[in-house]
Structure 1
């Protein structure tokens, strides 16, 4: 039989059937060849194929060209248009809509901004998006894999066969895309990638997947495109007016998988957490809930810090809409939601980002730059504009699509220093010979700038443990542009002091005062986080010395010391009721402890501290500024007593005084700034908190004195192991 001029070359047919064709869109579907319109389709299992237009007009039968299911035929049409095939075999018949009769979804402006690295809506373009396109419903898939020879979208819809839906290569950007008709919400998919060496890689999950399968399965899921109906407009509007440096910020840090479990040991869902966690945190007086990472991750004991799906809320607790309902419920209760965000590194699971297109794409190729020795993970290549765009867009995605209030950026120190956790010779200096990761610095400045520019009222927090200057200073003044920085020094120093026997504390008084030396060098959050109560460190209660009564008294005094100290507050779940055992991610907190008075007393104290912190401007309006703090007694080493004032313009001052020995101090003289009545707003020894119920009968009187530095003085009773808040009460 003579080969017609419009018929395909056998080599092209073999390339399609073997999944090796370099440009399937130039060959499959409706093609104009030598003045003829030709249809070509690869439909495995089909024995007969008939072509139709979308309006049902039959175009004729296609002829088999290869036993694996390649069909071809000349048709009479006047233009390029979508095509439907009716395929048949001995078992029945089915419809196939031709992806190769559709044009590209991405446009030249996408190419331009992607190429420039300035595209700020990649999450609307890449990944999987269900849509109407050229008159038919389906899903558009797009993925960046510039070094791949072929990329295909695969799933149950095509028997995970990478030959069936190869994608269009947009050569200028390295983006591959295809619109697959009919597919929609709930479709499972991955990408099959042929690397530059011709090797088919393990199937890859979608880096931009907005929904994932529940582990241990790892496929991406086409999400429901229905927009979520938010009811938090008033909260968002009010949030945009906030200056968080001068606003109360008391953060409840939570691991969703172990805050509380169902009776059968299973996880609570996002909806159940909205019903239980949100009102609990609101009743406790917190302003924010901070979630350990909820981006999809394969390994529960990583606590989310090794994410494989940065854009997908983990399926452990429900779907993306359920997570949105959780955030919405928090906002309706007046609570903000902060997410732990992990742009420093990623795990090397085969379905993840590692060697994504067969090359070191998201990571550095040189292990001295691209491998993290502490965590056995890959480090992002912050010098690559596409990688920076991926991460910047991810931050903006959470802030926009889920109304997140802030991102706490994990492991910033590991990003800033090229020699982090490395020995000499194991790292590559920057262009100036230094150890600063200049590309990571620019990335952090960019993501912070865009977050604050596009989402007023949100904030960025750095977990940064070194003395890098200007972490929470604006970018235009040379800073990194974060709103806040975790104060790891405060946490380390004060916990070390509190863990000592009281008789020894007088020799380490500086541990409690040193924090005030640098308290205003950054905008600080004071963190008592999950990191302090794992890996054999014990719970906060276990760190305290003495018998049971002294341990609780120490802890209560310490909490009030922290709430009275300049800086925003953060406390990990369970510590608000003095969890006895260190945190275990595989089980619920020990809520039964609240039946015991000492534990319930500690919970009451945290609620009252939060209330005082929110109600008294002196305690929060100058958290990050030196004019809000003044030492009153800083050098009474012998008695381990500390006292200071918290102040704010136009507000009544608050005196905070701590006695860190089990010895009560009667008639203890304290200089005061104002003559008159001072109300005992907090007394951690109160019976309400299961203390010994000693104190100053609710108030003290400050009397005028002459010839002293301070104009007044009061005689106080300092209960053992206690902290008092005394608020000036004007006549």
Structure 2
């Protein structure tokens, strides 16, 4: 046996027992006596040799599965021999230098690495002339971190990683590339060993399998330059924004293939064409970040950087976004930075400590959802999340993020009783760290990608959600108007005979309608968990239910605020949404449902084509009440555009009593076109109406300079647009 540097006994034991925390200090080539001394650890081999320019040099077995011996200075590979006599050559990962540079490590330690995903995760690359994959993960409190995968028999002893910087572990493995399965095996300070998916992994196995997958996300050929160049105008608060919210797994299914959901590429073809035909301006996808449990609908993600494999790999998700952009549709993602599940392969106690979450369950555990809460006060965690927002915008050309459960982030006592929460430093309930995180996220996303939009699902009256950060706001572009949704649906649930007693439910939203940049949401949350479908929320017989729903949609599209509607609601699906099935497209082919669908299509068209219906959505000067009458359950208002925009009058009748000769004030005399009548026969209504328009030739009324006698059909909304065509 050749003599050379002797491994300390504790290092030999650590290698053989899988406890080695500093592998590059003992493995690989070390200068020795004018040449190199090579130490390698490879379990299960009968023999190991070094293949050098001077020939094949056998290495001696030192102890257990440790091999060592002298080799000449210069390049080398390893040759393994199995007990059955098979031989193969491979590169030694412990001969390669680090990939991460000083700037990466500095930014990671500082918590300011805006391209975090370019440093951490698994990246196929050529390093020092050899093809392989670079792995890097943050686990500051681990004793040892190894890459395990289908390339090393899932054996954590084989590829322990190098610790660099402040708690980052990295290694370049020659050989594994796109499609390789892997996890991180972590030895914590207590001696426990866990296997974790990659927090910054770009791909995952199909649940319930839990491994990450190496995905090469470089080099996609985008064809959406025209959309990206016009996006800022299309997403401005003055623009018409009508959003179709979609759960990709249950929009349609392939029943000829065992009921599987559509792939990203099939959605790129079918969903994009449908949304375009329906006149929507945006798709909003419920969370696509990888998640283990279908029943969470994606709202309990474990892989924030991985588009779910349920519908295809990352490039095919890009195909969906690219197709939407080429069709002139924006794509928003539901994004979940508020909590994460306790699944053992996820972020929970990632390195044996409360790394991403708070250790104290009064701060770190969501009682409502049995999930964990991010520690927003930790700079590395805030960096992980803000970089993730940038990742979707940059790598996938996503046009905006709808941030889930913002209210639960803003308040430390959210859904908690006294004694179950920790006050802030001033003794209050506001979560200062979460507020700072949301502000930082909005500053960075809008700063790095002008023209995107961020949307807050925020159900309280927290002030200035959509105000700029430099004015003291949270910095969101828009906020869901949950109060409007709750009030108006309560009103619509009442029998029309009783609506006169609840008249303010429909008008109260205008008291605060311009305090934020609002989106009016009819989301998936309104058609699950026993709440009934939108159609079944409506009172009366079948005809009245459809009429009520059509009127409600007319009211919504005529009301200030951008629009959002969940899939299936646009054709009055009769059942609640079922994430395990698909929408009831059989019902959609029936006349009354087709009528609602046609109405939504026309509402979207009129909304887009009529500036007064969208340009001043967030401006109180863009709205004026004309008349409301609780006794008759009628509402009349005007929408006012910018100079030169034809004004709009919206008249609502929420009783089944038709009102003919109903005189309303009009902002100007002359002809007014009946742009929408929700009771039109083509929508399944009775066909009452105004023969295409009215003339405001009557005397001033309701504070307006003119008036017109109009017909308000039963349970209807009629939208009039000043006719400038003559």
Q: Same fold (TM over 0.5)?
A: yes
Q: Which has the larger displacement, 117-126 or 504-513? A: 117-126
Distance 1:242 1:693 in 2: 35
Cα shift at 1:58: 3.0
The match for 2:612 among 613, 618, 632 is: 618
1:75 maps onto 2:71 in alignment: yes
Provide the secondary structure at the position in 1 that maps to 2:196. Answer: coil
The equivalent of 2:423 in structure 1 is: 429
The match for 2:547 among 550, 553, 560 is: 553
8 Å Cα contact 1:640-1:659 kept in structure 2: yes
The equivalent of 1:479 in structure 2 is: 473
8 Å Cα contact 1:59-1:76 kept in structure 2: no
Distance 1:596 1:243 in 2: 34
8 Å Cα contact 2:243-2:565 kept in structure 1: yes
RMSD: 1.3
CA 1:212–1:126 in 2, change beyond 3 Å: closer, same or farther? same
Query: Where do residues 351-370 of structure 1 align in structure 2 (5 Å cutoff)?
Result: 351-370=345-364
1:321 maps onto 2:315 in alignment: yes
Cα shift at 1:86: 3.9
Query: Where do residues 330-341 of structure 1 align in structure 2 (5 Å cutoff)?
Result: 330-341=324-335
The equivalent of 1:268 in structure 2 is: 262
The equivalent of 2:662 in structure 1 is: 668
The equivalent of 1:470 in structure 2 is: 464
The match for 1:89 among 76, 83, 89 is: 83
- TM normalised by structure 1 equals 0.97
- 1:449-500 CA deviation, whole Å, 9 max, x = no partner? 1100111111100000000000000000000000000000000000000000
Cα shift at 1:414: 0.3
The equivalent of 1:176 in structure 2 is: 169
Unaligned runs of 5+ in 1: none
Provide the secondary structure at the position in 1 that maps to 2:593. Answer: helix
Distance 2:304 2:701 in 1: 64
1:231 maps onto 2:223 in alignment: yes
The match for 2:245 among 229, 253, 257 is: 253
8 Å Cα contact 2:698-2:707 kept in structure 1: yes
Distance 2:213 2:87 in 1: 27
Query: Where do residues 19-418 of structure 1 align in structure 2 (5 Å cutoff)?
Result: 19-33=18-32, 37-53=36-52, 58=55, 60-67=57-64, 69-77=65-73, 83-170=77-164, 172-201=165-194, 203-242=195-234, 244-263=236-255, 264-418=258-412
Q: Which has the larger displacement, 28-37 or 268-277? A: 28-37
8 Å Cα contact 1:41-1:70 kept in structure 2: yes
Provide the secondary structure at the position in 2 that maps to 1:542. Answer: helix
Provide the secondary structure at the position in 2 that maps to 1:244. Answer: coil
Distance 1:83 1:632 in 2: 84
1:574 maps onto 2:571 in alignment: no
Cα shift at 1:594: 2.2
Distance 1:695 1:82 in 2: 87
Provide the secondary structure at the position in 1 that maps to 2:237. Answer: helix
8 Å Cα contact 1:677-1:700 kept in structure 2: yes
Cα shift at 1:112: 1.1
- 1:617-662 CA deviation, whole Å, 9 max, x = no partner? 000101111111111113x000000011111112000101110000
Cα shift at 1:389: 0.6
Distance 1:568 1:179 in 2: 49
Distance 1:265 1:346 in 2: 29
CA 1:82–1:684 in 2, change beyond 3 Å: closer, same or farther? farther
Distance 2:466 2:218 in 1: 38
Distance 1:380 1:648 in 2: 43
Cα shift at 1:199: 1.3
The equivalent of 2:6 in structure 1 is: 7
Distance 2:243 2:60 in 1: 67
The equivalent of 2:676 in structure 1 is: 682
Unaligned runs of 5+ in 2: none
CA 1:36–1:503 in 2, change beyond 3 Å: closer, same or farther? same
Cα shift at 1:13: 1.8
Q: Which has the larger displacement, 145-154 or 589-598? A: 589-598
8 Å Cα contact 1:130-1:225 kept in structure 2: no
Cα shift at 1:35: 5.8
CA 1:704–1:663 in 2, change beyond 3 Å: closer, same or farther? closer
CA 1:316–1:525 in 2, change beyond 3 Å: closer, same or farther? same
